[in-house]
Amino acid sequence: MTSTARYGKRKVIGKGRKKMKTGDRKTDRKKRQTGRIQWMKIYLAPLEGITGHIYRTALKECFDGFDKYFIPFISPNQKGHFSTREKKDVLPENNRGVLAVPQILTNQAEDFIETAKKLAEYGYEEVNLNLGCPSRTVVTKGRGAGFLEEPDRLDRFLDEIFKKREWKISVKTRIGMSEPEEFEELLKIYNRYPLEELIVHPRLQKDFYKNTPNLDVFAMAAEESRNPLCYNGDICNAEDLKRLRERFPKLDCVMVGRGVLADPALGRVLKGGGQAEKAELRKFHDLLYRAYCEEMSGDRTVLYKMKELWFYFSGLFTNGKKYYKKIKKCERCVIYESIVNELFMKEEVIHG
């Protein structure tokens, strides 16, 4: 069943538009009362270098729980070609059975349109604009969060891409570069366009991933956004989501990133499903590891990927730190495999 079928459709119509929910409301209300589903859409955040197609496929197969799987950004190059990584990530055969949304990182309307056209040829109906990447190399080129520093230019850019629009466009944004006050003007700009969704990660570029998300600024978006809103930032367990919903009872959509890396069952858990079991985690690990071994050449490259995973993942196991230290030092796959076997044999899963 698609998320639309399950949750009903939300539409944004014309100017001064209102959010509408359609669908069988009685059934939905009943389901909510019996606790069978939670009235919440959960999205997987794009995490460049981590949540590529191999990760997303393993996640879907073992845990699922996500209404949309956002693909890490595509950065249009001068030749207008996708890089090898980008192409593998968007190929339909690598995204079977999931609602995947590709993301574009650019400040050139023409590049956005060309890339969105190519993505439409692959069958994508929605594209997401990255206005959040805080990395210096990106920001200094006026892209990602760097684009937020030029609101007039951003407005013209949105105007251009919405004029040509043949696909749904969503935006993933930070609240500004250096001051939270910047968001007011940005929100006014977003409100001028019929975005498929406005995903807000309420941190500034200068925060990178430090400090806590600014919920007061998010409250402004919750009050004033004319577009459907999605919250992103620091949701790592059901308790975090509960607190957020207490403050924003109308919020019906969150995106989760690092929390999933730390607990791949998070999407399922946030929807009221079960915690990860050891056998599931083993299967998830093995799917990832085997797929990386097949796709990449050389122990070092594969282990680089697995070390990145264990940085987050090790916290799920008793004595996880001890094993993570061993994994970090490891240079050969055979040794890695024996460390992981020992962990799965001797240790238990911790649920926070």
Ligand X SMILES: Cc1cc2nc3c(=O)[nH]c(=O)nc-3n(C[C@H](O)[C@H](O)[C@H](O)COP(=O)(O)O)c2cc1C
Site for ligand X in 219-278 (CB under 6 A): 232-235, 256-259
> Where does this chain touch ligand X (CB under 6 A) — which range of 8-16, 42-50, 152-160, 332-340?
42-50
Least Å distance, CB 282 to ligand X, is 24
Closest C-alpha among 244, 46, 223 to residue 132 = 46
Interface residue with ligand X among 172, 226, 268, 271 (CB under 6 A) is 172
- Alpha-carbon span 12 to 15, nearest angstrom: 9
Least Å distance, CB 61 to ligand X, is 22
Q: Which long-range contacts (CB under 8 A, 24 or more apart) does 286-289 make?
A: 287/57, 287/58, 287/61, 287/62, 288/54, 288/55, 288/58, 289/340
Torsion angle, CA of 50/53/59/65, rounded to 10 degrees?
Answer: 100
Site for ligand X in 269-328 (CB under 6 A): none
User: Does 76 engage in binding with ligand X (CB under 6 A)?
Assistant: no
Residue 321, judged by CB atoms within 10 A of its CB (0-12, 13-18, 19+), counts as exposed
133 is catalytic: yes
Kindly name the residue from 133, 230, 253, 330 that is annotated as catalytic. Answer: 133
Least Å distance, CB 16 to ligand X, is 29
Least Å distance, CB 139 to ligand X, is 13
Interface residue with ligand X among 46, 52, 76, 267 (CB under 6 A) is 46
Interface residues with ligand X (CB under 6 A) are: 45-50, 72-73, 103, 130, 132-133, 172, 201, 232-235, 256-259
Binding annotation for FMN: 103, 172, 201, 257-258
- The catalytic residues are 133
